Structure 1
Amino acid sequence: MRLTDHTDYSLRTLIYVAVHPDELVHVQTVADAFDIPKNHLVKIVQKLGQLGYLHTVRGRSGGIRLGRAPERIGLGEVVRAMEPDFAMVECFHQGENACVITSACNLRGVLGEALRAYFAVLDGYTLADLVDKPGVLRRLLGDAVAAVIPVAEIKVKRRVTESSS
């Protein structure tokens, strides 16, 4: 499964703003930090604002800041809100499914289970979990272009929930 650039840029924007909690962040600054086209980012910021993840302040001295505490912004919630759909294969589309083996095939069930597991993991994390090292992130974002870390090298702490302890 792959997220759209729209969702990727949404998450990066939230991370950037979260590590600058005492500032109004300019959209151009975020665009420059991640080398994202500003016009594209403006649309993303607008949607994040409409959804309440960001608070936007218009005007010359305006900018963006988080619309709620990072601990209250769930990653699964953001991904669900920003992605257009999660129909991984044709048989996920009820009215448009022309696959001749759907009635005897278990693919939809297996992929549906995988999708639920995917969201179960995302639902266990918040924006606060992504920015638990704000000083390091701020330093990396201080350059015009953010450092790119291959996904395989990213180590994530698992949050302990009451149900898993």
Structure 2
Amino acid sequence: MLRLSKLTDYAVVVLARLALDGAGPVGPVQTAPGLAAATGIAEPTVAKVLKILGQAGLVEGVRGARGGYRLTRPLPAVPLAEVITAVDGPIALTACVDGGSGSCEAEGICAVRGRWDPVNEAIRAALSGITVADLAGPAHCPAARVSARYATLPAE
């Protein structure tokens, strides 16, 4: 079974929550305790996720009395593949796709060596084509809410 880590799942939830409250590059910031309370994720886990997302450039910390965290760009500009890579590392179905030579005992005699590459690329491409906003839905993305509102207005 191919499964992402819980930390990746939590990262998507935290990013969606930051967008919900408008914590963007020019919006208000949110604190780790506030995000923990709003998402139901334990505060130490939220802090760990924010640190990882910050190192990847997906969120930025703001210092000071009114400090906290905010998105560095809108959720529609954040591919899911980038979040997965930030938290779990490179997307690779097998050890040999990971590029690590010597990570498989049968590497020298493997009949399918190199054949996983197209499969892995297809999965990477699919995950790059889905954004965090796609997962979060319009309720979690202010720009999507505005677009949805105008899409339902009658034409003049």
**Does the pair score TM above 0.5?**
yes
Q: Which residue of the other structure, out of 85, 92, 104, is the alignment partner of 1:97?
A: 104
Q: Which residue of 2 aligns with 1:106?
A: 112
Percent identity between the aligned chains?
A: 28
Within 2, Cα distance between the matches of 1:28 and 1:19? Answer: 16
Q: 1:128 to 1:91 in 2, by over 3 A?
A: closer
Aligned length: 135
Per-residue deviation, 1:45: 0.4
1:33 aligns with 2:38: yes
Q: RMSD of aligned C-alpha atoms?
A: 2.7
Partner letter of residue 44 of structure 1?
V
Per-residue deviation, 1:90: 4.5
Q: Which residue of 1 aligns with 2:77?
A: 72
Q: Which moved more, 1:9-18 or 1:22-31?
A: 22-31
Contact 1:27 1:63 in 2 (8 A): yes
List alignment gaps of at least 5 residues for structure 2. 143-156
Per-residue deviation, 1:121: 1.3
List alignment gaps of at least 5 residues for structure 1. 139-165
Q: Which residue of 2 aligns with 1:152?
A: none
Q: Which residue of 2 aligns with 1:15?
A: 16
Within 2, Cα distance between the matches of 1:70 and 1:87? Answer: 24
Per-residue deviation, 1:68: 1.3
Q: Which residue of 2 aligns with 1:51?
A: 56
1:119 aligns with 2:120: no
Q: Which residue of 1 aligns with 2:148?
A: none
